[in-house]
A = this chain, B = another copy of it.
């Protein structure tokens, strides 16, 4: 061993002991004839004192930042203690030193606030990983990993490895494929998730399965998406939805406790997908703050059970509202004094193409009890007051109203809600609020193909009392413009998402476990019998031999870690991430391969 102690270990109780340390030179400070060096390793920083007697040796072997240094010396009490670090009471009076390895000057400083930009830090990721902030992220990730494993183990889950070289069954996202040399002309696929394998394990009787496992999706990368990502993947047999919610609520609470020291004792609230969309315009609402929507008008085809307040806006001859499918309001606390410039800026913000609204209506709820609005012409003060009250506005609040087509308007008001919550300091990074969103629609409409796709995945079971709707109706959509009127649009699934601070951190479902229903589901998605057999014959086959009721979920491990770490960038929590073009700039991968490799794989390029 090159050391007797780590750089984070020595205390005043070690005084006068002779020790050997090894680590990296963080800083060198010369004071006349003596030098102080901060020596760093994974565990901390220890101050070294090079006294005058070592000057000749130092002149012959000068130290530099990031040099790897081994020192032997005596533990002394520091005259100038540093209360900020655990080793701050002591220093090592160096008697011998060895430079184990030199270092070129790093291309950026190895500090929390580095001067290195994103590109250079990614290229030299091995140096970036030395920075304390990045190291803390990796430590947090490991501690989430450890905590999850402990909880799952204590609850009888078994880690069972599923294969990485599987069969390509593109459905939804694109597969990464791997040419097979031994089976020329054929390809493996990398798993988008171990979904079918964990279901097979339930059929095999393994009862409770988990894996913290890499998954792969060849999608066009948006910020914060990676072609390879990690899931905490779980499945249970003989359970109903309630059992799963309880079990994994427990998991996340355990992680909060182990990793953050937070006792999250309150029951995790639950919200149906419909309520989430109705009240927040979003299926993963951030409920750290309220800011609920006031639905002043609803489309005819969805939210049939909800009571809108269209009476408040009707009959005013205000065409924008009259012609809109959806009109929705939100009350911003304490914003009634917003200037014309500020409301104009908000209007411009909602008119940006990403949001796509035509404009914005506001009502200022003045503290003196009066109301002022951009639609004064159409609505009397009494009517404005009624709208403001419906939006739960208090004196001093500013009510914002958006109007337009249902999906776009609802997304817009949700985006506006988040934007304003950020502005108003309502999204506190150290405040954590969990939420289960349940009762998702089973299907989603695919405009391009004018067909149904599985909202979660094709293995999700419909609610038991919706099975009849699925069986007794033809999935074909005759009237594309009016797809929401199709009976399939109303079918709800036994599916659930766990939401943390406005981010989906996990999701899952109770699965179909009957061959006939699974076939019906595949057929509803447009797969004929031959395709079903080719892609999923093994699963349909397995369902014939005693498949138990089962369900599960998967957490997005990278995102979970990021949010636990108070960040929304998953890349900061991955040791060797890829950039937005799917490249590892450190390795310079992907790259070309040899002619010999092409020959052996019996493929060639066919570049456009």
Contact = CB atoms under 8 A, between A and B. Distances in A.
Contacts of A416: none
A590 B167 contact: yes
Give the secondary structure class of A's interface.
Answer: loop
A584 B158 CA distance: 23
A193 to B, nearest CB: 14
Contacts of A166: 584, 587, 589
B164 A40 contact: no
7 contacts: A68-B546, A101-B548, A164-B216, A167-B584, A178-B190, A188-B590, A538-B588
Given A130-B204, A162-B575, A164-B216, 17 more contacts: A24-B205, A101-B543, A129-B200, A149-B149, A163-B228, A165-B227, A165-B578, A168-B593, A170-B594, A182-B582, A183-B581, A183-B582, A184-B608, A186-B591, A189-B593, A200-B576, A603-B606
Nearest to A600: B174
A604 interface: yes
A71 B549 CA distance: 14
Interface stretch (A74-82, A137-145, A378-386): A137-145
Interface string A293-308: 0000000000000000
Interface stretch (A27-35, A102-110, A325-333, A480-488): A102-110
B238 A207 contact: no
A102 to B, nearest CB: 7
A162 B1 CA distance: 26
Nearest to A215: B164
Nearest to A163: B576
Interface string A133-163: 0010011011001100100010000111111
B584 A545 contact: no
Interface residues of A, number: 127
Contacts of A181: 174, 218
B589 A167 contact: yes
A220 interface: yes
Interface in A445-496: none
A547 to B, nearest CB: 5
Contacts of A342: none
Given A581-B182, A584-B163, A605-B602, A135 B590 contact: no
Interface in A341-385: none
Interface string A431-450: 00000000000000000000
Interface in A557-608: 574-576, 578, 581-584, 586-594, 597-598, 600-608
Contacts of A592: 185-187
Given A127-B204, A178-B177, A538-B587, A185 B243 contact: no
A597 B176 CA distance: 9
A67 interface: yes
Interface string A110-130: 000000000000001111011
B126 A200 contact: yes
Contacts of A41: 205, 207
A179 interface: yes
B601 A177 contact: yes
A316 interface: no
A537 interface: yes
Contacts of A6: 207
A548 B594 CA distance: 33
Contacts of A101: 513-514, 543, 546-549
A134 to B, nearest CB: 9
B582 A138 contact: no
Contacts of A106: 545
